[in-house]
Structure 1
Amino acid sequence: MHHRGRLCVLALFFLAIAAGCSSDRNILERVGYVRTVGFDAEKDNMIRVTVNIPLIIAEANETRQQEEIFSKVVRSSKEARILMSRRTSRKMVSGQINTILFNEELSRRGLWSHMDSLLRDFTISKRTEIAVVEESARDIIETHLPGHSRTNQYIDRMLKKEFETQTLPHVLLHHFCRDYFDEGRDPITPFLSKSGKDLEVSGIALFKKDRMVGKLSANDIFYFSIIYHDQDRGEFTLGLNRPELYSISFHAINNTTRKTISKTPDGRYRADIRINIHGGVTEYIGNLKMSTSERTELEHILSRHIEEECNRVVKKLQQLGVDSIGIGQYVRNKVSYQEWKAFYKDNYIQDMDIVVHTNFKVKNFGNFFY
């Protein structure tokens, strides 16, 4: 009798496990994991919310990939979710969102009400990628780009690659929100646009608080990045159409950036940004011989050119009144609270003297010597 009771308990245990597995399978089949969300500006302060839900359909021995894409004009993202959920047989969940796209028009209106909603949703990772798109987020999400299996996966992998290679500053949802609240730095995001049948990172969107006020071009990304932070990898190509330097390409770029604050005799704050850069040459077209002392001349040309371009980028930030490189943080850390409050105002960056100094060193130039 005791043996029969143990058998009954074991049978009930295995039935419970089997029932649990069946229940989990049914739940997974009925869940729609949102991967990409797009926000577009509409009339009368309305927004268009577009979501992408990738699906894998298993039928017999065949597995197919599909997508469900829903788009609604609403007042808020939560309203959109309720309305969209009525059009799908799956339960929409936000825990797997990889990328959030905002179109440029909406970004210039201001993003904080939408960011606030995203932050309040505990299921959305604060490490979600965000980007501004030039035209319509909806068009990008709905368009099938030839050569890419799924647009949402393409965007996610492209941004991750740019972040990992340090071609682009690493900016996620929590970085944007941190800089929004920080009095000494303004937020940035990658800027995406269509390029033929592909997408490209075409620049960096610059924000004053939550409003986009301008952008840097793709050619400015390298110069901005080395001012923005230290990096230990990356690539860079430069062409000057000069006999000494027609074209040159580097790999394994690494730099150290140091920002120091001082006060001028007239009472203004001054920031000196000193950047030491090292890079390995992968291509060089010019008439200088790097295996001789002429390499020093080449390094001098590179240092002066990069310095000029970095100062140009800084001047653009100052003209827009944005502190995307965090100069205010260094001022705040140097002065007393009373001095900081007296100094801090919306366009404090415009009143400062900011000068970039660069020093470039070629750390290797390949195996061919001449």
Structure 2
Amino acid sequence: MRKSLIVFITVIGSLFLFSGCWDQKLVEQTGFTLQLGVELSPENKLLLTSCYPAIDAKEKNRDEIITAEAYLLREARNKREATASKVIDGGKIQQLLFSKELATLGIQEIMEILERDPLNPPLSYVVIVDGSPKELLEKAQTFPNKPRVSLYIHQLLVNNINSAYTPETKTYDFFIRYFAPGLDPITPLIRLDTDGIRVLGSALFAGDKLVGTIDTQQTAFLLAMMGQFKKTELFFAPVAPQQAESIKKGLSLTNVQSRRKIRVTIENDRPVVDLALAFTASLVEYRRDGLDQPPAQEQIEEGLARQIKKACLEIIRYTQEIGSDPIGIGDLVRAKYPDYWQQVDWRTAYREAVVNLSVKMDLLQYGAIH
């Protein structure tokens, strides 16, 4: 009798422990959105474009794209259900694509739903499209030598992020930078070309509004000043006179790495930033004559340091002009000088900040053949 009671209790307890998946979703009946594009329609509404794999389609690597427009993002999401062949699920979104036109007006109000709805993924990339996200997603499916559009864009972003040509900005990164006083978001910038999708560099924000853009090499220098530089390759103009008949102009570096030191002080009611960058790299392409002589090597290092310093100062002046602070100088001022921070309008004070920049380049290798 006692043994039967134990078995009965065990069976009853198992019913509670192994209750099954009551909220399961059948893959065959669900469309997992991987890209979500948002732009303005001709009627000045939000045009929502969703792209999800058509798993049961006869054509390989085919995606289904559906669009809807409304004044609210949630409303547009509900409208798309009227034309979708499956139940749309947004929990697997990999990229949020905003048009450049829309981003200049501000995207925080649109992204607000991502803060409120726990089903939306915080790890999706925030990307600005120079053009129409709808056109980009539709055209990307026609490239014969490219993988499925979701995989293509993901690999494109990851490769350029690892090369320091564009920033790694996911949804939570954007929110952190938007809500942090004295720190502005920066996102990847892409464009549709005739033969594929091209990474142009970065989009710079002031608050939630796009205010400027920089190219891929400028992005690498900006990431160095932000302390987020990754090992990459860089290309430079000649650092010394070259023969006129030479086809090759300039030089290229590989295995470029960077270290940053930054210090902020207040002098005469103005922020003063002391920023030091130290680069190491290997020289892989340049005219060969004279490279085995130490004076020539020092000349190359000094010439590269001057070029990097000039480029970085131009980037800083540009960000001050457009009122974007991706380096987070205001965040450092707010942490170290809270009284000063409370007394000033940072957007104005940032434009008047003095930045002292020093750059050092150390070439560790000049080639394998001597």
> How much has 1:262 moved relative to structure 2?
2.3
Supply the distance in 2 between the matched residues of 1:290 and 1:225 (Cα, whole angstroms): 32
* Higher mean C-alpha displacement, 150-159 vs 95-104: 150-159
Supply the distance in 2 between the matched residues of 1:316 and 1:286 (Cα, whole angstroms): 36
What is residue 200 of structure 1 aligned with on the other side? Answer: 198
> How much has 1:290 moved relative to structure 2?
4.5
Supply the distance in 2 between the matched residues of 1:201 and 1:63 (Cα, whole angstroms): 28
What is residue 365 of structure 1 aligned with on the other side? Answer: 366
1:233 aligns with 2:234: no
> How much has 1:119 moved relative to structure 2?
2.2
Give SS of 1:223's match: helix
Q: Which runs of 5 or more structure 1 residues have no equivalent in the other structure?
A: none
Structure 1 residue identity aligned to 2:80: M
> How much has 1:125 moved relative to structure 2?
1.9
1:254 aligns with 2:253: no
| CA shift in 2, pair 1:34/1:122, >3 Å | same
What is residue 116 of structure 1 aligned with on the other side? Answer: 112
What is residue 331 of structure 1 aligned with on the other side? Answer: 333
> How much has 1:257 moved relative to structure 2?
1.1
Supply the distance in 2 between the matched residues of 1:127 and 1:151 (Cα, whole angstroms): 18
| CA shift in 2, pair 1:106/1:362, >3 Å | same
Output the aligned Cα RMSD.
Answer: 2.7
Q: Percent identity?
A: 22
> How much has 1:243 moved relative to structure 2?
2.1
Alignment of structure 1 residues 153-232 onto 2, 5 Å = 153-232=151-230
> How much has 1:237 moved relative to structure 2?
1.4
| CA shift in 2, pair 1:291/1:94, >3 Å | farther
Supply the distance in 2 between the matched residues of 1:180 and 1:108 (Cα, whole angstroms): 15
Give SS of 1:69's match: strand
Structure 1 residue identity aligned to 2:234: F
Deviations 1:302-326 (A, max 9, x none): 0011101100110001111111111
> How much has 1:341 moved relative to structure 2?
0.8
Supply the distance in 2 between the matched residues of 1:346 and 1:311 (Cα, whole angstroms): 19
Supply the distance in 2 between the matched residues of 1:361 and 1:28 (Cα, whole angstroms): 54
> How much has 1:112 moved relative to structure 2?
0.8
Q: Which runs of 5 or more structure 2 residues have no equivalent in the other structure?
A: 243-247
| CA shift in 2, pair 1:181/1:290, >3 Å | farther
TM-score by length of 1: 0.87
- Conservation of the 8 A alpha-carbon contact between 1:184 and 1:326: yes
Give SS of 1:357's match: strand
| CA shift in 2, pair 1:155/1:290, >3 Å | farther
- Conservation of the 8 A alpha-carbon contact between 1:299 and 1:362: yes
Supply the distance in 2 between the matched residues of 1:300 and 1:68 (Cα, whole angstroms): 54
Supply the distance in 1 between the matched residues of 2:230 and 2:193 (Cα, whole angstroms): 29
- Conservation of the 8 A alpha-carbon contact between 1:243 and 1:286: no
Supply the distance in 1 between the matched residues of 2:332 and 2:292 (Cα, whole angstroms): 38
| CA shift in 2, pair 1:268/1:347, >3 Å | closer
> How much has 1:218 moved relative to structure 2?
3.1
Structure 2 residue corresponding to 1:307, chosen from 306, 309, 312: 309
> How much has 1:166 moved relative to structure 2?
3.0
- Conservation of the 8 A alpha-carbon contact between 2:167 and 2:202: no
- Conservation of the 8 A alpha-carbon contact between 1:311 and 1:356: yes
Give SS of 1:56's match: coil
What is residue 281 of structure 1 aligned with on the other side? Answer: 283
Alignment of structure 1 residues 11-160 onto 2, 5 Å = 27-43=26-42, 45-57=44-56, 64-143=60-139, 144=141, 145-160=143-158
Count of residue pairs the alignment pairs up:
351
Supply the distance in 2 between the matched residues of 1:111 and 1:198 (Cα, whole angstroms): 26
Structure 2 residue identity aligned to 1:178: I
| CA shift in 2, pair 1:54/1:307, >3 Å | same
